[in-house]
Structure 1
Amino acid sequence: MCNVTNTNLCDRTTGSCTCKKGWTGIFCNEDIDDCITTANICPALSTCDNKPGEYSCDCNAGYLKNAFGQCQECQQGRFGTDCSQSCLCDMAHTAECKTNNGSCICELGWTGRTCNEDVKECDNVTTCSAYSTCIEAIGSYECICNIGSKRSLLGNKCLACSDNTYGDRCSLPCPCKTDNTLTPTQSCDHVSGSCLCTAFWKGNTCEEDIDECNADVCADSNAFCHNTLLGYKCFCKKGFVLHETRGLCENVSKLSEGQEALQLQITLNIPDNDINLSVESTFAVYAEKVVSSLRQYWSRFIKGFTVVVNTLRTGSLHVDYTLYYVPSTNTSKAVSNAFVEMVNGIDLEFDGKTVSAVSDGLANSSVVCDVYQVAIGDCGFSMACVVEKGIAKCVQNPMVSTDSIRLIVGVTVSIGLLLLLGIIIAVYALNKRKARTAMKIKQKEAFNNRALQHGDQKVLKLPGVESRRNYGAPDASRYRTWRSLALGLSGSYPNEHDRSATSFKLPRLAQNQKRTNSFN
């Protein structure tokens, strides 16, 4: 049985149902989904909405169907289904009001639900570049270059002043002496323009030299301070020289300990330019330059030496100096060879320039030979030191003939033989004299012994005599003489018994014996 509502016609004979549009089925009671069965049934930007027996095409939110059945976007300020709602955005600061939901897209510098709040860009420290300041504005901000900087060529940042400029937009030039500043390409502060001097200069434009010598900068009492344009320098006083390892000034006299000291002279061909060498600092500056030049020269020949400048005189530059070195055969030979070069003239590096120099004092070659003979010893008799082709050596002395040499050698040998013979004779005579003396001593001892003993009878030793003559020693009897014995007879005795107990017999002198032999 047909659904009357959904059926256009019911066949009276068969009873079949003819369904209305949008319906189907035997009885026209089944809805046809046109949104599915029919492709592209709705226009763009719309949605197909199936309904019982029919469908509709509804424009999406933010769109409105026009007279041609097409969906078009809502006008600005309207949004929602069929553009039925008004936007709430602050349209003065809103870039876009979304037509589908009415949300606000704010312009740059604004924020908030309705774009009515100003963004605080300057709260972010990275908003502006270095050397600039952030300034807030309504809905925006501005980066202003600070004094002492300027905007880059691209305009996106600020740069500090350069090329010796300073101030607002780097419009002012620095007033400094650029060579006396820390950075010659930017000699002043880029903000204030004050000059940035090195440690050796001061003043508004770095034009005033600082005298460091006003302070006690030289710790050595044997040194003095010399102010320079680039600071200061400590020089040893006259009579002192800088020790290479300790760095202190020590007395020149210490250099002569264990070293050879040669007093030398050299003249450097340089203009004096009215220099005053009587000023201590001026003398020290030139002496240092001379020492540097001479060390460079002498180092070609020897090692471990010291050069000390004693005096300087103008008119070119006349130098009296002392060369200290440890003497040895090789060193002394090298020194003598160096002298030969100096006699002929040499070139020295002095104060960055090459100058000619000569040692006139060595022209007679005597100093050269003196040093050479220190090395090898004296040339010897009939030999002489000469300088030939720049080398010192010993050669036969032409002033001494061969015959003279033979004569001198002969005389020297003869004198030597006579001296040797005299020494032999003197030794022989001395030995003979010693033998005679020994014989006399033996004879005296024998004679004295005979005086003390005659035959088997012994002579009594007299205490009185011994005490008076200090003959109390055990061997005192050997020194008795006839005279002492005779004198002893008069000695005192304790009693007469002792006196008569012993008889004294005096030995008789031999007839042929002289009396003088009995006494010392």
Structure 2
Amino acid sequence: MTTPGSTDQYMQCGSLNCSVNAKCINASATTYKCQCHAGFSGDTCHDDIDECNRGNPCYHRGVCHNTIGSWWCECLDGWNGTEHCGENITESRLCMPGWTGEWCETCADDELGCGYMGRCGQLHNGNYYCGCQSGYGRRPPCADVDECTSNPCRNSGSCINTVGSYICLCASGWTGTQCNDDIDECASIPCQNQGVCIDHLASYSCNCTSGWKGLTCAEDIDECLASPCLHSGICTNNKGSFQCACTPEWAGPTCSEKNICHFETPCSNTGNCTHINQTAYLCQCPDTWKGVNCTDDVDECAENKCKNGASCNNTIGSYSCTCAEGWEGDNCDTDLNECESSNPCNATLVCVNVDGSYTCEAKIVKDDSGGANIGIIAGATTGALLAILAAVLALLYKFKWKRNPPLNKVSDVNGKGKTEVGNKHFKQPIKE
């Protein structure tokens, strides 16, 4: 497993290999940079910061130990605290070997006082000296140094001195210990209405889309103030755009194009014309016409509009159906009720209509004695006479059919009416 902060762990950030102890941010519209997490530094944030050398964070002579990205304090006896050894846990404070004094600030073999943040040491010649920790003076008693006098805060940041260190209050657009890290304002997506954000040092700008303006592209431009509609067109401002209501003679976004549909009426046969530009238009044709200008007749017979065996006759802009026997209507889809127009059956039979035809059936009567429905039963003589009569009628029918063709019905969808050719065709009654 690799050590955190090492060069073995990285993420691609444009052309840079940022440490995983960083995040990749946009430096501009086309470049990127690594923004280091606390405890790391460098262009790619692979360098660990030694907090122990940037002002000892351990109080009361605690020993600072640097770690990758952080540190920890080894506290003297009598002191505790999760970070700085700042909590007194006993009345007596034990010093590390070689030190003495209330704050363990004096070498045990010398009376030289080094102060709270001093470090007592002995030279080879036996003399003692005091070494002050970072952020404190170079001479005893190691008093706090005001780092703000050296103006460490960059880019107009305000410096506040603290015990052993300092704090920078950064101006808008900057961050970091010394306010030298630019904030990527585009990361918060400030540009509205599809505006493109461009990050600058301590600021940003938005390239707004058409119809919008302002720092964040949130202000609508009233295009109607510039009177964009020509030839008496009426302008209406919309969010991010505008619309022109043109007079019938003109068309286009700003009413600058002549309306072909108004001047030339290119669509025939009641076709509806729609203007596209000064040289193009679109015709919406009625169902019976097609083509660019609605001049091509539609062959309705190709759509099988005529039903039940009827023959279709295409006409210019329409069609007609010649119905088969037993059917009627514009498309021959309505059954002809032969029993309603006339009774083709003889007096002893009942006509029953069916789709496209009819049948002759025997009458059914109720038997008063038994209550059951029975057919009228003719005597032997009557039955014989009926058989002879049926044979004669059949011969007459056959002879009549040869001389006159059966009925043909023609429908005209243009509403010119129906015509009948030939004589009506009577079906032979069913023999009893």
**TM-score (structure 2 length as normaliser):** 0.32
User: Larger Rg: 1 or 2?
Assistant: 1
Q: Higher helix fraction: Structure 1 or Structure 2?
A: 1
Which structure's residues are more often strand, by fraction?
A: 2
